[in-house]
A and B are shown apart, each in its own frame.
Chain A
Amino acid sequence: MIKVSNLRKSFDGVEVLKGVDIEIPTGSTMAIIGKSGAGKTVLFKHLVGLMRPDSGSVVVDGADITRLRAGALKEVKRKFGMVFQGGALFDSLTVLENIAFPMRELTGLKESELLKKAGEMLKEVGLSGMGNKYPDEISGGMKKRVALARALVMSPEYLFFDEPTTGLDPIVENAIHALMKRCKALAPCTYIMVSHDIKEVLEMSDLVAMLHEGVIIECSAPEEITGSSNPVVKQFLSGSTEGPIQMY
């Protein structure tokens, strides 16, 4: 379980996270929604220990990762996998090498085995035959899928997806959803995802949290959140330009 308490972070005097409280139960799929620039990516980076908060705590299975020493932090981080919003693929490695990379560096798998596994994963994300291309030779949606494959292949306990299907066509999107569900069924784990795609959020998650103005204003099951009485949540889910969320 991940428990975030009163997490605060500001950049150059602007407070982005103003006391985030959230509980992510083990085994759940939690979706974090919120308008662009709300701080979802920043929150993610705190959850995986890439950023240190100004105050507050992130407790992962009983250990507060904001206070751990390097060695202990590494132990906790082994449970994490992350799909970055921009992919963050290693651009001097081929697509296949990218997927094989974490297995090669972190597991004792034999070269032939891990290449085979990487190849299978590549096929799963619909990119078989693209293995020898470099990240700058493939499209944005393909990069996203490679990043997804690179994270899934290690079957971590906690998987963070920063917009897993943004930029994918509807068919691929559905295939990715099926893959995510299949991976979860194979090896039980916790998914935490950021998404702007309301349909995806409702379909994939069993908890939805909305981040607005630096705090989580609502966190509930998808059925409940669609019936929320909070005007901010209502407006966000309907996508209306009229309401408490102002564009400008």
Chain B
Amino acid sequence: MGFFTAVGRAAILYLGEMGRMLLFLLQFVFSALKPPYRILRVIKEMHFIGVKSLFIIALTSGFTGMVLGLQGYHTLRKFGSESALGSLVALSLIRELGPVLGSLMVTARAGSAMTAELGIMRISEQIDALDVMTLDPVKFLVAPKMLAGVLAVPLLVAIFDVIGIWGGYIVGVRLLGVNAARYFDGMKESLEFRDVWGGAVKSLAFGLIVTWVSCYKGYNCGHGARGVGDATTEAVVLSAILVLAWDYILTSLLL
């Protein structure tokens, strides 16, 4: 009996949380559609999510591409097909690694900061103060962040892909001696529009997931400094899990 009660209670708790998250998303959609549009705030948030993540995205994508070049070269050489290195690097990056790693980096850098910012605003009653001023906090604080996430993450992922391909080129062509023309020709031959489109869909979805979870957790954070800390941890963990889970779902739908 105790076991079933516990499972039931946990299930209700999770379902409730999922329902609240969904309502939060709907609230975002409706408030974003309603004028006045705060374009300036969206641009500011895009600066925060996008421009300020550039360095870390460049760094991680460079290394990812280099490792792909290295691993790919040694694996492909076993089959005597080093010339396929270009398509291997490009396809892995554009279809999988770019969207997934890119949005995980955005979670770590910008998502956690959003949660902490909103959480502190919640516990210090700044969100209530906005509310009394008749400025809908979801519209004023959350919507610009989520819109910026949806817009900035695909752009960051595109940059991730390009730098990654270049990293693979450095290692594969410059260091290990794969023919440069082969590296890029192979890429052109094997890469289809579908792949690029799939990557774009993924990065859009992940951008939404990361900012949605981060904002939700911060907006509804618990009590005190501990509450903000817990919310931040939960936001990062849940974002990462959802990104990976949705990566699988989207891949199976897009293939």
Contact = CB atoms under 8 A, between A and B. Distances in A.
Interface string A51-68: 000000000000000000
A133 interface: no
A169 interface: no
Contacts of B140: 105
8 contacts: A49-B131, A49-B132, A50-B128, A50-B131, A74-B134, A77-B131, A88-B124, A91-B124
Given A86-B124, A88-B124, A91-B124, A77 B134 contact: yes
A102 interface: yes
Interface in A56-98: 74, 77-78, 80-82, 84, 86, 88-91
- The 7 A-B pairs of least Cβ separation, nearest first, read A88-B125, A88-B129, A77-B134, A82-B132, A74-B134, A84-B125, A48-B132
A102 B133 CA distance: 7
Interface residues of B, number: 13
B133 A86 contact: no
Interface string B117-141: 0001000111011011111100010
A206 B234 CA distance: 50
Interface of A: 45, 48-50, 74, 77-78, 80-82, 84, 86, 88-91, 102, 105-106
Contact of A90 (B129, B131, B132, B136): B129
Contacts of A49: 131-132
A81 B126 CA distance: 14
B126 A88 contact: yes
A49 B133 CA distance: 11
Contacts of B120: 91
Contact of B134 (A45, A89, A106): A106
Contacts of A106: 133-135
Contacts of A74: 134, 136
A86 B125 contact: yes
B30 to A, nearest CB: 10
B133 A105 contact: yes
Contacts of A91: 120, 124, 126
A84 B134 CA distance: 15
A102 B132 CA distance: 11
